[in-house]
Chains A and B, each alone.
Chain A
Amino acid sequence: QKEVEQNSGPLSVPEGAIASLNCTYSDRVSQSFFWYRQYSGKSPELIMSIYSNGDKEDGRFTAQLNKASQYVSLLIRDSQPSDSATYLCAVIGTGRRALTFGSGTRLQVQP
């Protein structure tokens, strides 16, 4: 079982819709969770971090964390074609000093 699992996609949504990206992790003691966006040929850039159960909102982005279910998600409201990218879920567990990444979900927003 991979430590961090994501559906590879592509996830295709129409412009203006809500895109929902999901991630599960296997290390129950993981404490910090991140969503990175990566455009083709570019480096990852952080869009959200979340550390406690519940929702965290930042503009059009909402991260949701459920530690009991070992599940973290990212909602993108009013999706735009410029949101088309690969979204990487990353986790840091207790005692670890580096990120463990999922393989990413490719999002396509159709104009």
Chain B
Amino acid sequence: NAGVTQTPKFQVLKTGQSMTLQCAQDMNHNSMYWYRQDPGMGLRLIYYSASEGTTDKGEVPNGYNVSRLNKREFSLRLESAAPSQTSVYFCASTGTPQTTDTQYFGPGTRLTVL
């Protein structure tokens, strides 16, 4: 099992460009999450999908859109990238959104917006 995979690993964008970050999990998990991590600020939730067909905003959703393509895949789209979106993006998944479930993280995407 690969666990949680993310593509790309690194990306450099110019202000105003768009891109989609891809995430897939092979653990048959129902819930998936997108976080961003900035220096000294821990991880902050952007969007999550409690189950296939549902998505909800997290703490910092502005400037992002998501798609839960199927049970395995959850993508994050930046429509018009801004320098403030320079960050490391982590995707995570868990079996159910119950409070006792462990979240498993992907390796991350390092995004720089110039």
Contact = CB atoms under 8 A, between A and B. Distances in A.
A and B, one complex? yes
A42 B58 CA distance: 23
How many of chain A's residues touch chain B, expressed as a range? 20 to 34
B33 interface: yes
Contacts of B102: 34, 46, 49
Nearest to B31: A97
A8 B48 contact: no
Given A49-B102, A97-B97, A44 B50 contact: no
Interface of B: 31, 33, 35, 40-45, 48, 50, 56, 58, 90, 97, 99-100, 102-108
Interface of A: 4, 8, 31-32, 34, 42-46, 49, 51, 88, 92, 94, 96-104
14 contacts: A8-B40, A34-B102, A42-B107, A42-B108, A49-B100, A51-B100, A88-B42, A92-B99, A94-B99, A97-B56, A98-B58, A99-B103, A101-B43, A103-B40
